[in-house]
Structure 1
Amino acid sequence: MNRLNRLTFALIVFLGAAPFSGWQARAEKNKDPNRTLFSILGGPGYMPETGLMLAVGGLLSFKTEDDLELQRSSVTLVGVANELDDGIGFGVRSKQKIFFNNDDVRYFGHLDAGHQSLYYWGVGYDAGKAQESSDELLVDIEYVKYNADLTFRVYEQLYVGPILRLKYFSPSDDLPDSAIWDPNFNQYKDLPLGVGLGAVVQWDSRDVAVNARKGHFFNLEFTGYSPEWGSDSRYQKALLDYRYYYTPRLGSTFAFLNRIELSDGDVPYYDMAMLGGMDFMRGTYMGHFRDLNATENTFEYRHTFADGSGLSRHGVTAWIGAGSISDEASSLYQDWIVTYGVGYRYELQPRMNVRADLGFSSEDEVGFYLTFTEAF
């Protein structure tokens, strides 16, 4: 049973079980809003990039100081195991959002690591359109990706600070034709390490960073990769990310995401701007479209159901998005990829959800994603 046909089986398993099978442990069961909470979930899952898998995840939320006004910090950790053609694959994914000193200091981190079979189409829009998704595109890769932002408040909601970007991608020797005949892949397959240092400027008026119902988030960052600090290649990247959240009435939120990523220099295939995955352009397979530059515009409606005392723990979402890639920034917006989908939300902890998303793309792809916190 290839990966594309496993989705039906995964959906049957998911829908036939209690929502998000597993158990939840809380460090404290009182109603103290500053209490530390810890939840664990486990069960079958599915992602188009990894196929059917067994997943176990934990969500830890806490406050770094006894302050009712300070939003809760959170750390998520999800581990997965799945079958590969030549053994067992694994992956670890973690997000950290930690708020210190009356929210004057913030640390945002994001880790992806593991050994997985991933699809590789090549570089450029034409390469992504040339071949449909199939197991013939699979590449076994050992990878580590870590993003770290340390920001300091300089004025009201304005934050600035240094950032670190670390990438390590090492493919196996057994390669599909899409990788063998791709010049960029061959140039960088033996140059697996990217180390980037840079700076970020953010304006953040969101009420809750991991599940905003109101406010703006503006993110502008620049990163340089250089052999002087350990990178195998020399290149530069810039990211402009703007998000807006509006709640006209309690339980109904409109969320907007607009982002553009630009690259220049000797950019390896593993760090090119990409569309797809569980956070951006859901429904498109991760890396189906990659190039030096990319943009995305997504609109999402989030609805939380009411109960007798206010909002319940249950909600649903629907979204539609459009993205584009190009080797020249001036050529963006010429060729579009469209994604859309629906999702279910369960509030595992205050304002912190488990989400299950079913996404579709204009490339006749389907993605099912089960993880913690909102996509954006």
Structure 2
Amino acid sequence: MRKHILTPILFLFTVLTSTAQVDSLGNKILNNLDSLRFAEIERSSFKLMPYIAPSYTPETQFLLSGGGLITFKTHKDKILNLSSIPFSVGYSSNGSFSVRAINVIYWKGDKLRSIGEFQLRDMPDNYWGVGYDKANSVPKTDTTTAYSRNYWRFYQRFLVRTHEKIFVGLVVDINRTRAMDLNQLMLQDEDVLHDGTDIFNTGVGLEVSYDTRDFVQNAYNGVFISGIFTTYAKFLGGNTNYNIIDLDYRQYRAIQRERRTLAWQVKGRFTFSGNTPWTDKSMLGGLDNMRGYTMGRFRDDNMVFSTLEYRHMFKRKKLNKKGNYNSRFGYVAWVGAGSVAPSVNKLKDWLPNAGLGLRAELQPRMNIRVDYGWAKGENGVYITFAEVF
């Protein structure tokens, strides 16, 4: 428990004491009383802010990661929101190597959007089996759940604004998982035996979304409703056939003032019409939902979860150099619940979730987050860029 508590402290120490050299092209150091001590590489609307930070998660254990936050505008427009690409590379105490990059890019005055991510992971992992009962009954040991996983994913959404608040677009999902060093229980698992250990999925889909958020990466107000249908097929180049429907509802409401936000999300992922491989079942846990649960411990054909989160950025007692009272620091608190099941009508075994987090703003409304999540039988600390939703 003590090592989990120390991780956010170490992170903040790293943030507040990091420095960098001024680049010969006119790059500058962002180092004043109202800023984090990061190197800010700035040219026109392009900015790069690097970082190095430790973290701890159930999947990777202690992880040292380095990366940065890139922000820019595709053309000069004071009203247009900043596009962003946060990225990181990390290596952990259990031998995990990971690369992650997320992109939210606005084109043509926000008439077009491209939103997606690239992930690469080479790591020791755990597999409990498919279904709620196995996640609760199979102990986490080297002989029952442990194996090695090599995984990469390219996921991208290309959206066109067809109405003031409505977007329609193409979704592309290409991913591959190779499982190695299987334990004895996995060697007998019916889903692993049926699907194999080298699974390549290629999918294309259609998204329709309604979006009134004031800022995609960190909304203070607005509603987001999305439906995505994706089909994965061998004729697209993979070795699987199945379909997925993703439904996502999010809402944000300012509480008394800006930068104090109540946000909530309800999300479901449903697979059907084919054979969804064990590697791509709907899963709870990890960086992006039900923080505190090991990603993949609870997996099945269908998943639903809900999160209610309060986000609070502090106010200063004195004006900063930008002429306002906004602080760069804040906190969040959340509660949630989720469930997995082989069919929608069997979604009944609800898992509890709660947590607290710290926020440090690197650029306006672009935060590093440090989250501590409590889960049933486990917990985790997460450090990364951008809000969960």
TM-score calculated relative to the size of structure 2: 0.89
Tell me the alpha carbon deviations over residues 164-184 of structure 1, each in whole angstroms, 9 at most, x when there is no partner.
Answer: 011100011x21244223211
For the pair 1:354 / 2:368, whether they are aligned, the reply is yes
Superposed displacement of residue 10, structure 1 = 5.0
Residue number among 212, 225, 228 corresponding to 1:221 in the alignment = 228
Alignment of 1:62-211 (within 5 A): 62-84=72-94, 88-136=95-143, 137-172=145-180, 174-211=181-218
Counterpart residue number, 1:282: 291
For the pair 1:59 / 2:73, whether they are aligned, the reply is no
In the alignment, structure 1 segments of 5+ residues that lack a partner are 1-6
The aligned amino acid for 2:357 is G
Take 1:65 and 1:40, find their aligned partners in 2: how far apart are those partners? 23
User: Quick check: 2:7–2:56 contact (8 Å CA) kept in 1?
Assistant: no
Counterpart residue number, 1:271: 280
- Number of positions where the alignment pairs a residue of Structure 1 with one of Structure 2: 360
Take 2:354 and 2:12, find their aligned partners in 1: how far apart are those partners? 26
Superposed displacement of residue 114, structure 1 = 2.0
Superposed displacement of residue 293, structure 1 = 0.3
User: Quick check: 2:140–2:146 contact (8 Å CA) kept in 1?
Assistant: no
Cα RMSD (Å): 1.6
User: Quick check: 1:165–1:197 contact (8 Å CA) kept in 2?
Assistant: yes
Change (3 A) 1:75 1:166: same
Change (3 A) 1:277 1:306: same
Counterpart residue number, 2:254: 247
Residue number among 321, 328, 339 corresponding to 2:343 in the alignment = 328
User: Quick check: 1:37–1:349 contact (8 Å CA) kept in 2?
Assistant: no
Alignment of 1:291-370 (within 5 A): 291-307=300-316, 308=318, 309-332=324-347, 334-361=348-375, 363-370=376-383
Take 1:105 and 1:35, find their aligned partners in 2: how far apart are those partners? 19
For the pair 1:15 / 2:29, whether they are aligned, the reply is no
Take 2:368 and 2:142, find their aligned partners in 1: how far apart are those partners? 29
Superposed displacement of residue 192, structure 1 = 1.3
The aligned amino acid for 1:208 is F
The aligned amino acid for 1:323 is G
In the alignment, structure 2 segments of 5+ residues that lack a partner are 20-37, 319-323
Superposed displacement of residue 13, structure 1 = 4.8
Superposed displacement of residue 375, structure 1 = 0.7
Counterpart residue number, 1:4: none
